[in-house]
Amino acid sequence: MEFLIFNVSFIFLVILYFYLGQVKKTSVMLLLGVIVIFFSPIWYMNFGGEKYKAYSLDSYHVTIFIAIFSILLIAIYIICHLFFSRNFLKVRACVVNYRRVLNVYLTLYSLLLLYIIYYSGHWPLLNAFSGNIVDRPDVVKSVFKGYFLFSVIVNVVMPSLCLLYLDKNNIHWFKKITLLVSLIFLLLVGGNKGVFMYFIIFCIIFLWRDFKIMHYLFVAILGIFVYALIRLPYLKDGVNFGYLFESIIERVLITQGMSIPNVIEFSKINNVYEMSSNELKYRLFEFVYGYSPGSMPIYYTAEIYVRHGILVLCLIGIIISLFLSFSFSYLERKDNIGVNWVIFMSLYVLVMSGVATSSLYIYVFSLLWVFVLFLLSNFKFNFN
């Protein structure tokens, strides 16, 4: 019965997104999160999927409950987002100082490139070309100093600057491709493919307005190539396209959400309340996979539930939905593609990283960076 209720809730949410015109808004990240974290994993579990199974039937039922409640919170978010946005004045034209944007991008890129060169022997993407297996720097942090700041700048700042400049009319195609390739290199050098994938999705929704079927085909081929390149050291028998396709589907649609029933099961035998968010993710990875190092992402509603229970989840979940819908609706109405990326990325962090201390740092940094983007756009704040 709960599986049926979940599916009805999901269909209702999809209809709500289309009816309220939220499919081409930054809040679509939450819908993508529901598909990746809840919908496909729950269907996988319901039909007897055995991979990543370190949980009991009871934990599976609790997962469905959390999924239904999470869908309710997203519905609250998008309804309030629409209500608040109608009460904020939309800026018709965003006057961007494109030369300044490009100069900031190139200056930061030079500094980031120096950081990459300094640790040149430890980057997964660079080692993939020689067939060496290197752990991601966000998993093994002892080698890199200041990697957290590097990753925030790469994932939040650089895409927002690049998008802001690419949104300019009459840019030569060679300059567009050069900027995109330079940014893609930054996004992939650490071996994390998630932000790259969602950056492409963001571009399809917000930047590439005349996207055709051939473009989708090119993006699909590019995604497979990037995935194959990073996975190349693990493919002992050479490139197998059947394996690559299956692996991509599994990692995108199943792996992320399997942390939820497992963290519920894990919390039954461990005191998760005393663990930091990062420690919980590392311990959970070891619990599921049987080895370390590694980390499993935990959706924020699941983490709140296993730490504090249902009543606190209801309270905090509603507060988060109301706060984010108010603040993001104001920022999104300002018609700035760079700011929209920051909002989109903040929702991505909420979906994939949850309520970790590092996530809070990213939110604070993102808020400060929004002010910088508005300065680059000669923007004046008002709440009309």
pLDDT at residue 126, as a whole number? 73
Per DSSP, the three-state class of 263 is helix
pLDDT at residue 71, as a whole number? 96
Task: Assess whether 270 and 159 both reside in one domain.
Answer: no
Residue 33, in any domain of the structure: yes
Which residue matches tokens 């934990």? 59
Q: Where are the alpha helices (DSSP H) in the chain?
A: 2-19, 28-34, 40-46, 57-85, 98-118, 124-128, 147-152, 158-166, 173-188, 194-202, 213-231, 241-250, 259-269, 277-289, 300-308, 310-332, 337-353, 357-376
pLDDT at residue 146, as a whole number? 86
User: Amino acid identity, residue 253?
Assistant: L
Task: Assess whether 269 and 339 both reside in one domain.
Answer: yes
Task: Assess whether 269 and 338 both reside in one domain.
Answer: yes
The domain boundary, picked from 167, 191, 207, lies at 207
The pTM for the full model equals 0.86
Residue 24, in any domain of the structure: yes
Which residue matches tokens 């590097």? 150
Residue 364, in any domain of the structure: yes
DSSP-derived letter for residue 89 is P
Task: Assess whether 21 and 48 both reside in one domain.
Answer: yes
The domain boundary, picked from 145, 175, 207, lies at 207
Contacts for 188 with CB less than 8 Å, ≥ 6 apart:
125, 196, 226, 230
Residue 372, in any domain of the structure: yes
pLDDT at residue 383, as a whole number? 46
How far apart CA 16 and CA 23 sit, in angstroms, is 10
Per DSSP, the three-state class of 57 is helix
pLDDT at residue 384, as a whole number? 46
pLDDT less than 50: residues of the chain: 381-384
How far apart CA 80 and CA 87 sit, in angstroms, is 11
Residue 239, in any domain of the structure: no
Residue 268, in any domain of the structure: yes
Contacts for 321 with CB less than 8 Å, ≥ 6 apart:
73, 74, 76, 77, 80
Instruction: From residue 82, give the alpha-carbon distance in Å to each of 17, 88, 351.
Output: 11, 10, 20
Among 29, 63, 27, residue whose Cα is nearest residue 43? 63
The string of DSSP codes covering 90-145 is PPS-----HHHHHHHHHHHHHHHHHHHHHTGGG-HHHHHTTT-----TTTS-SS-S
- Residue-number span of the structural domain to which 195 is assigned: 96-207
Task: Assess whether 53 and 155 both reside in one domain.
Answer: no
pLDDT at residue 108, as a whole number? 95
